[in-house]
Structure 1
């Protein structure tokens, strides 16, 4: 189940965020989608509005999954997101919960801008 859920999340990033293809990504979302990001409404309608905003405001946005972890019905992704090419981007940790059918039914995230300078040489990824 964990490997299947990881693949679902990878497909979700590619179809939904990178390609901004709402209809393809919507097939990966369960009947009840609970969103914990305060800028995105619950449900498939909230996800559709989010994708429409990305298409309009950040058509070149790319999300690169750097690490992916799964434990049962939860998948955690460590992601490098760049809204506009050439900008430093954002380090993101997304947490997804999937249902028995392997569809995404809940999402949490935390985001931190990638700084231009750092007190260490470890990088954010």
Structure 2
């Protein structure tokens, strides 16, 4: 049980480091060290593999240099890490609520899914999205 807990915590640290290097710093060289030899992408706008991720970061760096991805919650179970993220492309925008799902093997990210929902101007409740 302790070994499973340690693995889950290590996987969460890997994903958080990936957000920092990749999405906050847009540093492919550092972020790519956290990817496995194979990297399967389920977002239809991003190509598979290291080259696909590198192209995605180059796009973000050019089009949205001020992009922020603030992880609000992170959960791990087995080889999966789920992050609940507030993504903002430009300062002053409301941004999107994002759920990213990562699969890890041997401590490296090998697969990614995401679901995004724009944060509306008005809400039917006072709860917020995070």
TM-score tier after normalising by the smaller chain length: over 0.9
What is the aligned counterpart of 2:60 among 31, 54, 62? Answer: 54
Runs of 4+ more than 2 Å apart: none
Residue of structure 1 equivalent to 2:95: 89
In the TM superposition, 1:92-103 aligns within 5 A as 92-100=98-106, 102-103=107-108
Residue of structure 1 equivalent to 2:111: 106
Residue of structure 1 equivalent to 2:129: 124
Given the two structures, how large is their TM-score scaled by the length of structure 2? Answer: 0.95
Q: Distance in 1 between matches of 2:120 and 2:19?
A: 23
What is the aligned counterpart of 1:37 among 38, 43, 46? Answer: 43
**Residue 25 of structure 1, CA deviation:** 0.2
* Ranges in structure 2 where 5+ consecutive residues have no aligned partner: 1-6
Residue of structure 1 equivalent to 2:73: 67
- Deviation per CA, 1:77-119, whole angstroms, max 9, x where unpaired? 000000000000000000000002x000000000000011100
Q: Distance in 1 between matches of 2:86 and 2:36?
A: 25
Partner of 2:81, secondary structure, is strand
**Residue 13 of structure 1, CA deviation:** 0.4
* Ranges in structure 1 where 5+ consecutive residues have no aligned partner: none
When the two chains are superposed, the root-mean-square deviation of aligned CA atoms in Å is 0.4
Q: Distance in 2 between matches of 1:45 and 1:71?
A: 28
